[in-house]
Amino acid sequence: MAERILMNEYKALAKEDWVNIELNDEDIFNWNVGLIVLNPDSLYYGGYFKASMKFSKNYPYSPPEFRFLRPLYHPNIYPDGKLCISILHAPGEDEMSGELASERWSPAQRVESVLISILSLLDDAEVSSPANVDAGVMLRKDFESYKALVRKDVEQSKKDIPEGFVMPTHESSMNRPTEKADDADFWADSEVDSDVFGGSDSDEDLDLDDQDTGSDDEEDDQD
């Protein structure tokens, strides 16, 4: 089941110009990801940010692991390249952090929503609980110095552009026709929507209504 879901997500993302994905050793559970920032208003515009993404055999019940391979100086990125971001945290509410279930991973999420959240995080850092305290302080108190370090990271990231890969631009992205299917078509094509999203009345099945409202049913937190 996980293989079929991931293959459909991989094929859908292959049509996008803001991300470049290659399978590591043809393993559908192990992706090499290049995130491309096409927003000209972003400090990270023009960057190619290489990362690894690993999935468990029980995906989508567990979130993927994500790590930048060239760590960025950012309040929410650890020195090893891992992120502090709610969407990658295990399902369910966390009283210690105050995160709601609706903010964390759920099996209704997709890889695309994770990657978009990461791109958004780059320019919208959460400085109240930073993974890199120094970066959080610099962002708040010395923005020009912070911006200079970001631009340095962007230039360094260009070294990871694969040979022969043509970097898209904001203009080329705007002129590119969209071929994106809606969510209903995506899950219909996956042939597993009934298995994952409540196709039977078994106690072990996932209740999407509870996920959408942030309910903390024990059945939703599956290993």
The answer to whether position 89 is within a domain reads: yes
61 is catalytic: no
The answer to whether position 183 is within a domain reads: no
The answer for residues whose C-beta is within 8 angstroms of residue 30's C-beta and 6 or more apart is 23, 24, 52, 53, 54, 55
The answer to whether position 182 is within a domain reads: no
Residue 206 and residue 220 in contact, taking contact as beta carbons nearer than 8 Å: yes
The answer to whether position 184 is within a domain reads: no
Is the link from the previous residue into 60 a cis peptide, with omega within 30 of 0? yes
C-alpha to C-alpha distances, 207 to 7, 9, 191, 200, 204, nearest whole angstrom: 24, 22, 18, 10, 9
**Cα(135)–Cα(146) distance, integer angstroms:** 7
Say how many C-beta atoms besides its own lie within 10 A of residue 49's C-beta: 24
Residue 115 and residue 35 in contact, taking contact as beta carbons nearer than 8 Å: yes
What CATH number is attached to the domain comprising 147? 3.10.110.10
Catalytic residue among 33, 53, 84, 115: 84
- The tally of domains found in the chain comes to 1
Domain that holds residue 89: 1-170
Burial 107-138 (b: 16+ CB within 10 A, else e): bebbbbebbebbbebbeebeeeebbbeebbeb
Check whether 167 has a pLDDT greater than 90: yes
The answer to whether position 223 is within a domain reads: no
Q: Please, where are the H alpha helices in 57-182? A: 111-123, 133-141, 143-157, 170-175
pLDDT at position 25, please? 86
Strand arrangement, sheet containing 19-24:
19-24, 27-36, 48-54, 65-68
Q: Which two tokens stand for residue 21?
A: 């994905």
Question: Residue 101 — pLDDT band, cuts 50, 70, 90?
Answer: low
Check whether 216 has a pLDDT greater than 60: no
The answer to whether position 52 is within a domain reads: yes
pTM of the model: 0.76
The answer to whether position 197 is within a domain reads: no
The answer to whether position 222 is within a domain reads: no
- Average confidence (pLDDT) over 100-105: 71
pLDDT at position 171, please? 77
Backbone angles phi, psi at 94, to 5 degrees: -125, 105
Percent of the residues in the chain that have a pLDDT greater than 70, as a whole number? 72
